[in-house]
Amino acid sequence: EAQVTQNPRYLITVTGKKLTVTCSQNMNHEYMSWYRQDPGLGLRQIYYSMNVEVTDKGDVPEGYKVSRKEKRNFPLILESPSPNQTSLYFCASSLAGLLPTDTQYFGPGTRLTVL
């Protein structure tokens, strides 16, 4: 089954404790991205990657890191989480980017709470 998977689905942590949220897709997609969803703000893009070893900042990259060493994986790293990073996070992928012909497929989400 074609899908985007994220782990963990739920995470409660404390300020300053490094964490990684994994994202994996099995559709051989070139483009992957991370979003955060906050009430009243919709989804905002954190980082995206057009291909292996190619990453770029989205709208809200501060406090986050990403890497794209393999095509299928795109982990999101919070080196020193803070309470304002408490949010619902979505990973997404598409075949080649955000072209009109592309469709983004979203993972199930990771709900992160930073105390």
Partner 1 sequence: AQSVTQLDSHVSVSEGTPVLLRCNYSSSYSPSLFWYVQHPNKGLQLLLKYTSAATLVKGINGFEAEFKKSETSFHLTKPSAHMSDAAEYFCVVSENNDMRFGAGTRLTVKP
Instruction: Annotate each residue in 56-95 with x if it binds partner 1 (CB under 8 A) or - if it does not, as one string.
Output: ----------------------------------x-x---
Rounded to the nearest whole angstrom, what is the least distance from the CB of residue 26 to partner 1 in the complex? 15
Instruction: Give the interface segment with partner 1, choosing from 19-27, 60-68, 74-82, 96-104 (CB under 8 A).
Output: 96-104
- Residue from the set 25, 45, 85, 93 that interacts with partner 1 by CB under 8 A: 45
In Å, how far are 41, 62, 87 from 84, measured between CA atoms?
14, 11, 8
Cβ–Cβ under 8 Å, residues 54 and 103: no
Number of residues that bind partner 1 (CB under 8 A): 21
CA dihedral 72, 5, 21, 55 (to 10 degrees): 30
Binding track over 14-43 against partner 1, x by CB under 8 A = ---------------------x----xxxx
Question: 81 near 65, Cβ under 8 Å?
Answer: no
Residue that has been written with the tokens 């300053």 in this structure: 16
For partner 1, the closer of residues 14 and 99 by Cβ is 99
Q: Taking the CA atoms of the chain, what radius of gyration do you get in angstroms? A: 13
